[in-house]
């Protein structure tokens, strides 16, 4: 359903080591079957505690992390990222969610996840997203792009604003195109820029989303339960 | 008791002279109101029996409003099976189906609730002639089904009342026959008993009120009743104790008794507070129970039905996907939609349209929306044009369709993108009105714009509507 991520150029020769964290065994096995052969699932976890333990032990490159998880202090995926903070440099987190609630998604992104995709996404798309995240890029679904545009506003940055609180005109364009369902490749073609530049813009937006002290962001997310 | 089934429940009517007892009784019995009133007046002449009966009904029978409110407070869950009730009881008061029997058994029903009404008239007939009162009320108890046995205790009160009335009648008859009755002792004693009864009734009310939602009016009435009961008891005791009725003595005794009462209140206060907290937690539990029942009902009506359908259509992938998508949408709406929100906004209309197209053609239509605005005629055209574009995209694109709606500063834009093989607008025959009329023409007529970009990677329709009426534009929040 999520057709944002076309086939990107990043395909490392070696396989990517992945841990799947989700409390539904059916979903975990389904996802394992759907993932590309070059993705090696080295561990699985169903609760916050299990996840932190497995991640610390396996040190995977990418963790596919459900936003809602039982256990711990009730913080779900956010708590797993916080518990694995020491590994954030080497291990990348990709949030998976059915909830679609802005509050949950923004919370897990702000905790340090490198991207967010919906669970209805196809195996090829999720494989692509895993490679992209492993390569250090951010993965934005159209919905996450929509959240960002809604939270940061659709007007480009004024000079007076804190740089972190607004998106630049170019970042806005990129976010708009992603929200419209464009793949990175299509965004690059549309804006006459390279895919690498698109990825740079998306990473910059992710950074703003994570670091912005914009107090409305949290308030906004709390109000927007719907989508 | 079966005759009570066909009758309207005994309630005090709002069409009243004093307390609506007569008209309520008339409605219940199916007699003319005038006859009942005249009968009551005559009964009053007969040694005050009518007055006693009237007062008794006044206390026991709820008003029509109260009765309706009590019934309304028990929300019936649409899915929980109707607890098997003896029909005689089901008729009087629709019982809350979703509430566990224990909760009901615990809540001692006060006298005069609608289902109590079925037995109240039975006791009532006897009251003027006191003698029949007790047996009539008492006979109600043994026929309760086992489920209700816990609650049969309450008929003890009616028996007591009947016995009391019997006693009064006996005394009056004895008086008439010339026997010397020590009224000086009996009246204060009766006052004490009556006051205590009223106060206890109040306690009973409070316990019931803990299970149902309590209104301010109930509370005020409760306090008044408690005060009246207390005053009666104190006065009765004082007159009885002081015997003579000399004022100085009475005042002294009054002071002493108020002091004692104060002490008792002080001692009982912690107990009362605990009692109150129990009530509160019980009420909270009931709210949770109602919520749970509502969720269960919803899941049953929607998700379980869809799962059953999916199992039956497991062979048809297309149907399964469509069912799953439709159910997902419905459930999301139910979970995340704020019911207080105005549902007539542009984004809601676009989402509803996308859902319609999704159901119609089976391909997923994902909507991402940023900002929102109230609908106008031009926005209606935008929705219609979007619908046409979504239909085309779903039909010819043959896959998922992405829809993006953005409203900022009153300007609304909708982008509809598919990943089909694309088409050349100039190749579309002149007589095909879909794209040319329904999309481009319609947008232009309403002052908007429409453009179509089609490549071999897919087609994107862009619709734009300038913000003509800025006061309608809410923009983002």
**Spatial distance between the Cα atoms of A170 and B244, rounded to a whole number of angstroms:** 100
- Would you give per-residue pLDDT tens digits along chain B (477 residues)? 444 456 677 777 777 777 778 888 888 888 888 888 888 888 888 777 788 888 888 877 777 777 766 665 544 433 333 333 334 343 434 444 444 444 444 444 444 344 433 443 433 343 344 334 334 333 434 444 444 444 445 566 678 778 878 888 888 888 888 777 666 667 777 777 777 777 666 555 555 554 444 444 456 666 777 777 777 777 777 776 666 556 777 777 778 878 888 888 888 888 888 888 899 889 899 898 888 888 888 887 788 888 888 888 888 888 888 888 888 888 877 777 665 555 678 888 888 888 888 888 878 888 888 888 888 888 888 998 999 889 888 888 877 889 999 888 888 899 999 887 777 766 666 666 667 778 888 888 888 888 888 888 888 899 998 876 544 444 433
Distance from CA of A131 to the nearest CA of B (A): 23
Residue B142 lies in a domain: yes
- A57: Cα separation from own chain's centroid: 23
Q: Which of B131, B162, B181 is the C-terminal boundary of a domain?
A: B181
**Nearest by CB: B417 against A2, A145, A180:** A180
- Domains of chain A are 16-223 (3.40.50.2300)
Residue B241 lies in a domain: no
Q: A49: helix, coil or strand?
A: helix
CA dihedral A130, A135, A141, A145 (to 10 degrees): 160
B455 touches chain A (CB under 8 A): no
Q: Which of B153, B181, B209 is the C-terminal boundary of a domain?
A: B181
Prediction ipTM score: 0.79
**Nearest by CB: A3 against B368, B408, B419:** B419
B417 touches chain A (CB under 8 A): yes
Q: What is the CATH number of the domain that holds B401?
A: 3.30.565.10
Q: Which of B121, B153, B181 is the C-terminal boundary of a domain?
A: B181
Find the closest chain A residue to B339 by CA distance: A226
- Across B342-372, b (16+ Cβ under 10 Å) vs e yields eeebbbbbbbbbbbebbeebebbbbbbbbbb
Residue B13 lies in a domain: yes
Residue B364 lies in a domain: yes
Domain count, chain B: 2
**Nearest by CB: A149 against B337, B370, B402:** B370
Chain-chain contact of B402 with A176 (C-beta, under 8 angstroms)? no
Residues A20-65: pLDDT tens digits?
Answer: 998 888 888 888 888 888 888 898 888 888 888 998 888 898 999 8
Q: Using CB atoms and an 8 Å cut-off, which of residues 282-301 of chain B contact chain A?
A: none
Chain-chain contact of A176 with B406 (C-beta, under 8 angstroms)? yes
**Spatial distance between the Cα atoms of B84 and B102, rounded to a whole number of angstroms:** 14
Range of the domain at B19: 2-68+84-181
* DSSP symbols for B216-254: HHHHHHHHHHHHHHHHHHHHHHHHHHH-S--HHHHHHHH
Chain A residues touching chain B at CB-CB below 8 Å: 1-3, 100-101, 120, 142-143, 145-146, 149-150, 153-155, 176, 179-182, 186, 223, 225-227
Distance from CA of A54 to the nearest CA of B (A): 32
**Nearest by CB: A154 against B366, B368, B408:** B408
């Amino acid at each position: 359903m999520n057709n944002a991520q076309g086939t990107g150029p990043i395909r490392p020769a070696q396989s990517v080591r992945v841990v799947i964290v989700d409390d539904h065994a059916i979903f975990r096995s389904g996802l394992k079957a759907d993932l590309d052969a070059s993705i090696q699932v080295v561990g699985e976890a169903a609760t916050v505690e299990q996840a932190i333990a497995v991640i610390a032990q396996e040190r995977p490159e990418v963790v596919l992390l459900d936003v809602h998880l039982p256990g711990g202090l009730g913080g779900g995926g956010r708590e797993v990222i916080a518990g694995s903070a020491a590994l954030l440099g080497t291990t990348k987190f990709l949030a998976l969610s059915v909830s679609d609630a802005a509050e949950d998604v923004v919370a897990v992104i702000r905790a340090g996840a490198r991207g967010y995709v919906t669970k209805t996404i196809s195996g090829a798309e999720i494989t692509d997203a895993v490679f992209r995240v492993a390569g250090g890029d951010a993965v934005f679904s159209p919905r996450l792009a929509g959240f960002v545009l809604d939270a940061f506003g659709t007007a480009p940055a004024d000079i007076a604003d804190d740089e972190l609180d607004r998106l630049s005109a170019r970042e806005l364009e990129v976010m708009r195109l992603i929200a419209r369902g464009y793949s990175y490749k299509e965004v690059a073609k549309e804006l006459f820029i390279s895919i690498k530049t698109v990825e740079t813009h998306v990473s910059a937006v992710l950074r703003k989303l994570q670091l912005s002290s914009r107090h409305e962001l949290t308030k906004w997310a709390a109000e927007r339960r719907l989508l | 008791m079966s005759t009570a089934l066909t009758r309207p429940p005994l309630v005090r009517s709002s069409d009243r002279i004093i307390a609506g007892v007569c008209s309520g009784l008339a409605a219940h019995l199916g007699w003319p109101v005038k006859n009942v009133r005249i009968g009551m007046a005559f009964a009053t002449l007969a040694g005050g029996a009518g007055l006693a009966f009237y007062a008794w009904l006044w206390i026991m029978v709820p008003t029509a409003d109260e009765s309706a409110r009590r019934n309304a407070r028990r929300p019936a869950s649409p899915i929980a099976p109707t607890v098997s009730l003896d029909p005689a009881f089901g008729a009087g008061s629709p019982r809350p189906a979703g509430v566990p029997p224990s909760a009901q058994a615990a809540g001692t029903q006060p006298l005069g609730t609608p289902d109590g009404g079925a037995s109240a008239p039975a006791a009532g007939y006897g009251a003027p002639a006191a003698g029949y009162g007790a047996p009539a009320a008492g006979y109600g108890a043994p026929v309760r089904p086992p489920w209700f046995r816990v609650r049969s205790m309450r008929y003890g009160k009616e028996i007591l009342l009947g016995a009391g009335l019997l006693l009064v009648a006996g005394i009056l008859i004895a008086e008439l026959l010339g026997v010397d009755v020590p009224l000086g002792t009996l009246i204060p004693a009766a006052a004490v008993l009556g006051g205590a009864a009223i106060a206890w009734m109040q306690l009973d009310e409070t316990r019931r009120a803990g299970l149902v939602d309590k209104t301010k009016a109930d509370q005020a009435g409760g306090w008044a009743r408690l005060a009246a009961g207390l005053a009666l008891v104190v006065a009765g005791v004082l007159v009885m104790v002081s015997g003579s009725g000399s004022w100085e003595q009475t005042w002294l005794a009054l002071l002493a008794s108020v002091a004692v009462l104060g002490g008792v209140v002080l001692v009982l206060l912690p107990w009362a507070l605990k009692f109150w907290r129990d009530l509160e937690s019980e009420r909270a539990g009931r709210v949770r129970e109602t919520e749970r029942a509502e969720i269960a009902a919803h899941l049953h009506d929607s998700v379980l039905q869809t799962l059953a359908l999916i199992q039956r259509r497991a062979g048809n992938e297309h149907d399964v996907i469509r069912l799953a998508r439709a159910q997902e949408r419905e459930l999301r709406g139910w979970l995340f939609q704020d019911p207080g929100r105005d549902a007539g906004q542009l984004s809601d209309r676009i989402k509803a349209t996308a859902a319609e197209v999704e159901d119609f053609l089976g391909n997923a239509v994902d909507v991402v929306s940023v900002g929102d605005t109230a609908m106008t005629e031009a926005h209606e055209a935008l929705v219609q044009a979007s619908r046409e574009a979504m239909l085309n995209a779903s039909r010819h694109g043959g896959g998922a369709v992405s829809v993006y709606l953005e409203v900022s500063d009153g300007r609304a834009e909708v982008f509809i993108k598919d990943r089909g093989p694309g088409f050349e607008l100039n190749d579309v025959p002149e007589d095909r009105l879909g794209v040319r009329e329904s999309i481009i023409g319609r947008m232009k007529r309403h002052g908007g714009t429409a453009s179509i970009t089609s490549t071999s990677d897919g087609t994107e329709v862009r619709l734009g509507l300038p913000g003509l009426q800025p006061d309608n534009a809410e923009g983002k929040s």
